Amino acid sequence: MIPPITYIDRRSGAMKAETVYAAGFLRWAYNTASGAAAGRLLFGSRLVSRLYGRWNSTSVSRRRIPGFIRRMGIDMSECPLRPEEFPDFNAFFRRPIDPGARPVAGDPDICVSPADGKARAYPRLGMREQIRVKCHALSVEELLDSRPLAESFDGGPVVIIRLGLADYHHVHFPDDGVPGRATPVGGGYHAGGPYAQTGIVPFYSKNYRMRSIFRSSGFGPIAMVEVGAFTVGSIVQTFTEDRPVRRGERKSFFELGGSTVVMVFRPGMFTPDADLVRNTSMGLETSVRLGEPIGRRMS
């Protein structure tokens, strides 16, 4: 059994625990010799995730919705639709949210969270420096899959937001600005949870992800990377390239499964909030919500 993920609830300051689901199968796949071959087949290909996504797009999958709401403790008062209005489970998973439930901080010196989830923040990360995020290793160069691009962000801050199964699975822009083209990178679908006990999972370097450069008004260019995970059928971009956007506008959404958003900033442009950095230094994530502050412009 995988222990729950411990994190800090930002609103209350309390320590909380997030249950890790499907741990039995994934622990077997990542930690045993017999499971390794199955793991290479399942996680190295998009086929299984796509098939799983298709099944959850059938009307039969609607039966999963009530139990999922109860098990995950989802607050349906934030959603403009009732559970019975969704045609299938995948539609429920990418459910909309009432904009009033996520007010967006308007101070231009503040960078807001682009999503609901659990955050880690690093005030400085060299392009080749590897950090351990649970059972995953991250380096900016491998994440961006481009040495010239990584060099332009070398030594800048990094914010990682992990979306759990119960979270709102849409990504929004953290500031006013102009988004560039979204480029697909990689092709695998490793699991995003802390399932591996004996090795490193190549989540940030091998998984399918979408990379775009957002030219923000207050923080300069930001590399925004959505990382798909096991059972994520696709990452859908909803913005128009080179069209100016306002902070809080929707950028993309994930279809079915836990997922992650990484933002990489250039040095001297942004400093993450002290509580996020402090909790990260203690090995803890911090819960954040779409639209709330996660850092400020450097003066």
CA distances from 285 to 77, 131, 161, 176, 185 (A): 26, 14, 9, 26, 26
Q: CB atoms < 10 A from the CB of 19, how many?
A: 14
Strand positions, DSSP E, 139-233: 156-163, 170-172, 177-179, 183-185, 209-216, 220-227
- Tell me how far apart the alpha carbons of residues 94 and 17 are, in angstroms, rounded to a whole number: 24
Phi, psi for residue 33 in degrees, rounded to 5: -65, -40
Q: Which two tokens stand for residue 23?
A: 């741990």
**Cβ density class 38-55: b for 16+ within 10 Å, e for less:** ebeebbeebeebbebbee
The answer to whether the beta carbons of residues 225 and 202 sit under 8 Å apart is no
How large is the C-alpha radius of gyration of the chain? 18
The answer to whether residue 287 is catalytic is no
The answer to whether residue 259 is catalytic is yes
User: Per the residue annotation, which of 116, 167, 175, 273 is the catalytic one?
Assistant: 116
In single-letter form, the type of residue at position 124 comes to R
The answer to whether residue 170 is catalytic is no
Instruction: Name the 3-class secondary structure at 83.
Output: helix
User: Per the residue annotation, which of 172, 175, 212, 287 is the catalytic one?
Assistant: 172
User: Per the residue annotation, which of 113, 205, 259, 287 is the catalytic one?
Assistant: 259
The answer to whether the beta carbons of residues 248 and 112 sit under 8 Å apart is yes
- Tell me how far apart the alpha carbons of residues 283 and 294 are, in angstroms, rounded to a whole number: 18
User: Which residues on adjacent β-strands are paired with residue 256?
Assistant: none
Residues assigned a catalytic role: 116, 172, 259
